[in-house]
Structure 1
Amino acid sequence: MSFPLDAMNEMLDRLGSHPFHGDRLPRRVADAQDFAARVPLMRRDDLAREMAKPGHGAFSAPDAVRMNLTPMGSALMPILHTRADLDRATAACRTHLEACGIGPGDVCAVTFGYHLFVAGLFYETQMEAHGVTCLPLGPGEAERTAEICAREGVTVLAGNPTFALRLIEKGMPAPRVFFAGGEPFTGNATLYGRVRAAMPETVLVDSFSLSEFLPVARTFPGGEGVHVFDELVHAEVIDPDTEQPVADGERGELVLTHLAKEAQPLVRYRTGDLTVKRETAPVHGRTVNLPRVVFGRTDGMVKAKGVKLYPSEMRAVLLGLDGLTGRYRLIVARKASGGDHLTLAIEGTPDAGTLEAVRTSFRTQTLVGLDDILVEETLAEGPLAVDER
């Protein structure tokens, strides 16, 4: 397993004097196992508490040059970047732009939002730094945006897939490269298929980032899923219950560590995102892969038939299937024989083919089978999972 030992030890040594991390971290580790055993996990609440203190507490960064905001409950938490942080992220993104054949002479339309949050400005920054002409358009006004893109010869588009489809419908020529974000993309076969049909010759890029970690991973030509920018971030997957690392290919919670961040450095940060990680042969230098990106949250886990089930991952089971609204409930009961009985209640009017697809997708996702599927035209309000045992 690849582990960035030198970069990790350099980071641990640097954080030895950090007011938040200093007393929590060893100065050096021997390998990935030592890192996981000796370095404590960090939760979003830990960061939020510090950021709520005057001057951002232990994460004060007087040399920060950019502040983005991210929702944290009912509040917005600042995300800080120094000049060096932005330069490192831009350099990592440059390797991806080059892999996609993007460079001077291209024209990029950015239709992600710019107000408060990070995506729009993030894409604009990396494109401009790479010599790409950038149109910071933001979302909305599909007809006028499509006209501008057609007039200015846009070759690269960055935005939500559903809005990209509206632009094509309004007459925008298909770009050479499309950066998707903000919605499940490669994990949503229906939406991905619609975009592929609308842009048959376009290089389609799926991306995954958190406001706290930007960027994390992207689709690289010649790879599958998204490949982690491992010069910026170390990715682990843990069992959210035992907090121990799981083997490659097993479902678990994504845990991320900054390798060189100056402002707000985060170490073994629990994202709450459910994913699978695999080591691969190098793809444009990257060997850490999330083949299905993220497909749920780790909240509300129930254990049934010897397997940990996460209610939110049922969305990935139902995504894109005809006749379903997407609303569901997982019900765990006890069989008369003593075993677990699994029922998935779904809302809609599915046909037999869709029901069989639900069964197959559920088994593929969770590795256990459903005992029953309960179909209701209108599903009553309630929790995503009910344990009746």
Structure 2
Amino acid sequence: MLDRLNAQLVRLQTQPFYRGRLPERVASEAEFAQRVPLMSRADLSAEMARPGFGAFAPHVPAVRINLSPMGNALVPVMQSAADLRAMEAACARHLDACGIGPGDVCMVTFGYHLFVAGLFYQSQMEARGVACIPHGPGETERAADVARRCGMTVLAGNPSHALKLIEAGCPVPRVFFAGGEAFTGNEALYARVRAAMPDTLLIDSFSLSECLPVARTFPGGSGVHLFDELLYAEVIDPDSGLPVAEGERGELVLTHLQKELQPLVRYRTGDLTVMQRAAPIHGRTVSLPRVVFGRVDSMVKVKGVKLYPSELKAVLLGIDGAKQLRLVISHKVSGGDHVALQVEGNLDADGLGQLAARFKRQTLISADVIEAVEQLDGSDAVIDQRSTQPS
């Protein structure tokens, strides 16, 4: 990996955005983190808003331009012919691992209009000799009929929509590529898909429009495994910007290793994740075992642990009857933080116990009190009363 990082540093010495910002080489990954500055989505968005895309003006022709929502703008994401071939080659290794190739028929039910997922799946399948049905989302009855008539064997799309397709008579695929919503991180949804597709190879995936692809489930692995021929991944403390230890929660940071157009270096994704290294799975040793489970937002420190309000949505996934979760933090009379969980919904004692256990597993914080309420007032996920209490 160090050789790949240094090769990219050499290539980017004359790239206008990075000229004068990057060392020519580093002796270790730790030095890379120390000497190479972080980059934000705001940096990318601002540069792409300049005439001709500013310092990211294409030096070779772009052959595909998708749009990615960033704040209030749709930011162009450009691919050169070499960029597409590199993505297709990386995905080909994954398709080989999944036993997908000529003779398979893939229906793509991701969207195509402006955004990236539909065409991304179509192009990688076609490059591997797989017949592709570019259906797009919606029109469930028609899609199920087309899948039957065309002998679909591979399905790529949103898990919730895939369940509707199966209910409408769509053949059960041999392989299902899930995206667009939490999948392996949503135990209830994953169980429903597994029940509907008992013998199907289920593939979870994580990508960003500007970093594509990032990681996927590989047969025999756990979590999603990084496409490390395309990307170098780090996890940092969102507050300090420093790398965290393996297995600790933090913000995912990505570096392109060979991209020609819009190469990103130490790019802050804003996504919360955990990274670990394990024995090789189809040659891959880096995985995100819980994929991503929240966004970096207004962090609060509770019982000495950093907590991000968006994590609370991940806690609720798969718990029937739970609609909204709120954390109320106050001071204990004896000192320290008092943590109360309020959940909107009709949960019995078992459901509340499951929620408390999930909250502790996700955040490493034990709740002092947990209660179900008929309706929560307002939309705040976290209410911190400590500043209004005497210390």
Give the TM-score, by structure 2 length: 0.97
Cα distance per residue 1:121-146 (max 9 Å; x no partner): 00000000000000000001000100
Cα distance per residue 1:10-62 (max 9 Å; x no partner): 10011111111112111101111000000011010000100000011101115
Worse-matched range after superposition: 13-22 or 366-375: 366-375
Matched, 1:36 2:33: yes
Matched, 1:147 2:174: no
Matched, 1:58 2:55: yes
* Matched residue, 1:47: 44
Instruction: Give the distance between the partners of 1:297 and 1:232, measured in 2 at CA.
Output: 23
* Matched residue, 2:352: 355
CA contact under 8 A between 2:352 and 2:372: conserved in structure 1? no
Matched, 1:224 2:236: no
CA contact under 8 A between 1:297 and 1:312: conserved in structure 2? yes
Tell me how far 1:375 sits from its aligned partner.
2.0
Worse-matched range after superposition: 75-84 or 337-346: 337-346
Tell me how far 1:149 sits from its aligned partner.
0.2
* Matched residue, 2:314: 316
Aligned AA for 2:73?
Answer: A
Equivalent runs, 1:251-266 vs 2, <5 Å: 251-266=249-264
Cα distance per residue 1:150-187 (max 9 Å; x no partner): 11110000000001000000001100000000000000
Aligned AA for 2:242?
Answer: Q
Gaps of 5+ in 2: 387-391
Tell me how far 1:383 sits from its aligned partner.
2.1
Tell me how far 1:251 sits from its aligned partner.
0.6
CA contact under 8 A between 2:299 and 2:308: conserved in structure 1? yes
Aligned AA for 1:50?
Answer: E
SS in 2 for 1:316: helix
Worse-matched range after superposition: 152-161 or 359-368: 359-368
Instruction: Give the distance between the partners of 1:380 and 1:21, measured in 2 at CA.
Output: 48
* Matched residue, 2:304: 306
Q: Give the counterpart of 1:169 among 164, 167, 172.
A: 167
Matched, 1:278 2:276: yes
CA contact under 8 A between 1:323 and 1:351: conserved in structure 2? no
Instruction: Give the distance between the partners of 2:18 and 2:340, measured in 1 at CA.
Output: 45
Equivalent runs, 1:72-87 vs 2, <5 Å: 72-87=70-85
Aligned AA for 1:70?
Answer: S
CA contact under 8 A between 1:69 and 1:117: conserved in structure 2? yes
Aligned residue-pair number: 385
* Matched residue, 2:330: 333
Q: Give the counterpart of 1:375 among 349, 372, 377.
A: 372
* Matched residue, 1:15: 12
Tell me how far 1:194 sits from its aligned partner.
0.3
CA contact under 8 A between 1:298 and 1:310: conserved in structure 2? yes
CA contact under 8 A between 1:177 and 1:202: conserved in structure 2? yes
Tell me how far 1:365 sits from its aligned partner.
1.0
Instruction: Give the distance between the partners of 2:308 and 2:92, measured in 1 at CA.
Output: 36
Aligned AA for 2:87?
Answer: A
Aligned AA for 1:252?
Answer: G
Tell me how far 1:336 sits from its aligned partner.
1.0
Identity, % of aligned positions: 65
* Matched residue, 1:235: 233
Instruction: Give the distance between the partners of 1:35 and 1:358, measured in 2 at CA.
Output: 40
CA contact under 8 A between 2:235 and 2:274: conserved in structure 1? yes
Q: Give the counterpart of 1:183 among 178, 181, 184.
A: 181
SS in 2 for 1:311: coil
Tell me how far 1:373 sits from its aligned partner.
1.6
Aligned AA for 2:358?
Answer: S
Tell me how far 1:374 sits from its aligned partner.
3.3
Matched, 1:385 2:382: yes
Aligned AA for 1:109?
Answer: M
SS in 1 for 2:13: helix
* Matched residue, 1:290: 288
* Matched residue, 2:115: 117
SS in 2 for 1:271: strand
Aligned AA for 2:187?
Answer: A
SS in 2 for 1:369: coil
Aligned AA for 1:11?
Answer: Q
Instruction: Give the distance between the partners of 2:223 and 2:154, measured in 1 at CA.
Output: 20
* Matched residue, 1:127: 125
* Matched residue, 1:25: 22
Q: Which runs of 4+ in 1 moved over 4 A?
A: none
Tell me how far 1:67 sits from its aligned partner.
0.4
CA contact under 8 A between 1:331 and 1:385: conserved in structure 2? yes
Worse-matched range after superposition: 92-101 or 4-13: 4-13
CA contact under 8 A between 1:110 and 1:123: conserved in structure 2? yes
SS in 1 for 2:42: helix
* Matched residue, 2:389: none
* Matched residue, 1:159: 157
CA contact under 8 A between 2:274 and 2:289: conserved in structure 1? yes
Equivalent runs, 1:89-128 vs 2, <5 Å: 89-128=87-126
Cα distance per residue 1:261-307 (max 9 Å; x no partner): 11000000011100000001110011100000000111011001010
